[in-house]
Structure 1
């Protein structure tokens, strides 16, 4: 599959210098794993704070900050996943039309 023809300029910057055809599926899987790791880390941090003996008002402030930071860290990965899924679905659609 010639995935490179479906890559946007933003994704193209990720794959510049690749010596072999770039695999969008592999990037999607890797990005999904990274997102899962971020979620796991966030859940662990939240549990640690909630189990702690910190003042409830301070606890709320800490958890609010953790949630904000988590959203900020996730956003670029979510955007990349959406773009990859769009490119992959376009590629599949184009291949089906070419075969049909």
Structure 2
């Protein structure tokens, strides 16, 4: 996960450095929806290919390419979700300490 640091620092700038206050929970839900949409789109493409009359050897290559592209497209969102969850956990812990 070599991209972990840039995602973290960009997220910190977004949350801390911006003039507007961001709701991390809303951002997490929005990112999760985007990831779900990517997964749905991928399943639809694979199912459409499976129903086609494409040559089986070519079909296998296309499925492999679709899977590779899908992994590449979803990786930044998975990393962002992990980072948002980390920030949410930290914010919750800070809130519990302040309340206690």
TM-score normalised to structure 2 length: 0.85
Aligned pair in 2 of structure 1 residues 69, 87: CA closer, same or farther (>3 Å)? Answer: same
2: CA distance, partners of 1:57 / 1:31: 35
**Hey, what's the Cα distance between the residues in 2 that align with 1:96 and 1:13?**
24
Q: Does 1:32 align with 2:40?
A: no
Q: Report the Cα distance in structure 2 between the residues aligned to 1:47 and 1:60, rounded to whole angstroms.
A: 13
1:41 aligns with 2:52: no
CA RMSD of aligned residues (A): 1.7
**Corresponding pairs, count:** 93
Unaligned residue ranges in structure 2 (runs of 5+): 1-7
Corresponding residue of 1:10: 10
Q: Structure 1, unaligned stretches of length 5 or more?
A: 1-7
Contact 2:15/2:21 (<8 A) preserved = no
